[in-house]
Amino acid sequence: MLKRLRTVLAVTMLTVASYAVAIESSGSHPDTYVVRKGDTLWDIAARFLDKPWLWPEIWQANPQVANPHLIYPGDVLSLAYLDRVGVQAGPRQEAPIGAIPLSEIEPFLKNLRVTDDFGHLPYVVGFEDNRLRGSAGQAAYVKGLDGTQAGQRYAVVRPTVRYALPRTFRDLKPDGRITPGDGNLWKQYVPPSDRNVFLGHELAQVNVGTVTRVAGGQATVATLQLEDSGHEVRAGDRLIPVEAQPYDLQFFPHAPANLPAGVRVLAVADSFSTAGPRDVIALSAGSLDGMDNGTVVSLWREGSHINNPLRRVETSRQNDRFRGGGEVLPDEYAAHAMVFRTFDKVSYALVMDGIKPVRVGYEALHPDAR
């Protein structure tokens, strides 16, 4: 099931582009093609075009196509002329092929958010029976829940990293201070950047709970009954109101309308510095930069600077920070990713398909860059 889902997601994601380019055939093709159950727009286009995510551009030039995002099993596609691709409607007995429903990708998403400041948020100070940690069915005691009422639900979130450029992220302690010794694992790679800007703090959801008792009398804290057994809660974790719908119900993959230069992979959720298919990454661009849910990007490793042994024999250094002359290698494509949640300056994306792992610091480009 996971293998099939991975394939469906990888080929479904890149179905929409927002600009027109010359259409090129991938070679011989039949005059018509009948859409079958299990097909995707990416599947079909990949057989007949060199740039398969241009299918919607072709369809939009054909007024007989009611919705360029949707096709149905049984539809007959005319491939006689690649500059005039038509569709003959088939039976409407099955669901259309189009958007990616939330249900297919939600298991892989992480409940993360970005905020400029979290110092004002209520926070956990202790647990029942003086426990060091709290989990489902146990009570956590919270400071700062002024004005709350019994029955209100809150998400327990934990400050995890500080995002900024050129240093992509710094690990945080519960009080928001930088973790001593942080960053030792990635000192060998600092991605180049023309920006020097603070992007926000990441808050990762670790639990949810319901207020059962408010502060009053001699008690100076409110009581929160924890509900989730996935992660333990610790002192210093923060509280925010539960969001009724944190994700869109469906995603229409599309190329970015205006992708800024120098967008980088800031971090990999629940990992160190690399990501593969179905992993969540943070990008250094958000809604203020024109990113929205469904935006698709390709991820690239910037060409390394290496020593030329015939000209500079005094060093053999070849890592990503070497800038001492020599030769510059080409940029290397790694994967495609689709944005599923955006904030002002940061967005989160799901790595969908690729040929090699994605590392912190890789650059995000237009999906057609490859």
Q: Which of 19-23, 67-71, 346-350 has the lowest mean pLDDT?
A: 19-23
pLDDT in tens, 274-321: 899 989 999 999 999 999 998 989 999 988 777 766 665 555 555 555
* pLDDT score, position 304: 75
Q: Which residues contact 336 (CB under 8 A, 6 or more apart)?
A: 10, 13, 14, 296, 297, 298, 299, 351, 352, 353, 354, 367
Q: Cβ distance 25 to 51 under 8 Å?
A: no
Phi, psi of 196 (to 5 degrees): -135, 90
* pLDDT score, position 1: 34
Beta strands in 242-344 (DSSP E): 250-251, 265-268, 274-275, 280-283, 296-301, 305-306, 327-328, 332-342
pLDDT band at 221 (very low <50, low <70, confident <90, very high): very high
> What domains lie within the chain, and their CATH numbers?
2-98 (no CATH), 112-241 (no CATH), 250-369 (2.40.30)
pLDDT band at 347 (very low <50, low <70, confident <90, very high): very high
Query: Of how many residues is the chain composed?
Result: 370
Strand order in the sheet with 32-34: 32-34, 76-78, 86-88
pLDDT band at 87 (very low <50, low <70, confident <90, very high): low
| Pairwise pLDDT comparison (124 vs 146), residue with the higher score | 124
Between CA 201 and CA 133 the distance in angstroms is 23
Q: Which of 3-17, 79-93, 95-109, 138-152 has the lowest mean pLDDT?
A: 3-17
